[in-house]
Amino acid sequence: MTSYKQPDTMPELRTTNPEPRAPSLPPWHDSRFMRACRRQPVDATPVWLMRQAGRYLKEYRALRASTPFLELCKNPELAAELTVMAAKRIGADAAILFADLLLIAEPMGFRIEYDKGPGPLVRPALRSGTSLTHLPEVESQDSLAYVFEAVRRARAALDASLPLIGFAGAPFTLASYLIEGGPSKTFRHTKTLMFSDAGEWHALMDYLVRNLVKYTRGQIEAGVQAVQIFDSWAGCLAPAHYREFVLPHMRQFFAGLPQGVPTIHFATGAGALLKDMQDAGGDVIGLDFRVSLGEAWNRLGPQAAVQGNLDPTVLFAGSPYIRKQVRSILSEAAGRRGHIFNLGHGVLPETPVEHVTALIEMVHEESQVLR
């Protein structure tokens, strides 16, 4: 009988628990929009539009004919339907949630009225400094659950490769609405509080930041891939006042959001504040149409990503002029990584929808030619 002999070297044992594989990335991760947010190469410049789901669309007008605006926002099924429909209808590279930046004001104890003036009205206006102590903390998972449900429904209905953008108002803009009671040309009441009672102002801004962070994180947890922070009224401020009364709070806001989720920081009439806005935070700086995209990007530096910035009224012109303006903006971008094409403000209600779809196609075509 042949006896067994121990081999000089033992064969390697196969492990029954191999190293876990890294999870595959979701389809939207390498979309044009997300790559541009990360300043990575893209095959064509991505484009989406502010007020993408708005009155220029007949589908939106049909819903609004029977449903008040606030009811639309609070109906997750309809809000998701509008979100998805608009992105598909115009062929955008991202969808943006159908909602409103003042929704968070209701659980803070304010009444919001739409369609009663040139903009939304807030009642009662926050004029007394003593009233700041009575503002409740917002339990967003309960009071704003309809927003998060709309996010989940929209995300489930969208093509898996199409990113979904959430949004919130910036603390200065939200504070202005609460204090002024609606839109303003001078922001007299807001600035009076800032200048005369800095302690109360900073307390209000801390309160708003705290609750806006919870609300924005809630959208991210529900399924948005990026968020835009609208500081619609920041352009009314002198640079020194922005730095003293707004900048620290914007830093706090952006610091409270999770890393890895792109953030877009947008303000109107804020050409003098661009470097301060960049200092405040945001992966992408949104530009309105009052600044040259090329000059603004040169000021921000090569490390910046930018979004913008066609004048919305150009969309009332014929196709030749729209294409000329598209080429001009793409020329100013000069092939730099990190450009997301958008309007310098929202789509205007009477805009011909065929001009909007033509714009999307032109941006894709012309940017591919430039590449």
Query: CA-to-CA distance for 286 and 226, rounded, in angstroms?
Result: 14
User: Looking at the chain, which runs of residues are DSSP E strands?
Assistant: 95-96, 111-113, 121-123, 164-169, 226-231, 263-267, 284-286, 305-307, 339-340
**How far, CA to CA in Å, does 294 sit from each of 38, 176, 199, 257, 326?**
19, 31, 39, 29, 13
- Diameter over CA atoms, the chain: 105
The answer to whether 60 is a known catalytic residue is: no
Catalytic residue among 35, 38, 39, 64: 64
Query: CA-to-CA distance for 67 and 58, rounded, in angstroms?
Result: 14
Query: CA-to-CA distance for 289 and 360, rounded, in angstroms?
Result: 17
Partner residues linked to 267 by β-bridges: 231
Catalytic residue among 35, 89, 100, 327: 100
Catalytic residue among 56, 60, 177, 207: 177
The answer to whether 51 is a known catalytic residue is: yes
Q: Write b or e for each residue in 226-265: b if 16 or more Cβ atoms lie within 10 A of its Cβ, otherwise e.
A: bbbbbbbbbbbbeeeebebbbbebbebbbeebeeebbbbb
Looking at this protein, which amino acid is placed at residue 69? F
The answer to whether 123 is a known catalytic residue is: no
66 phi and psi angles, rounded to 5 deg: -120, -10
Catalytic residue among 38, 55, 243, 336: 55
Task: With both helix axes pointing from N to C terminus, report the angle between 319-333 and 353-370 in degrees, rounded to the nearest 10.
Answer: 40
Residues identified as active-site: 51, 55, 64, 100, 177
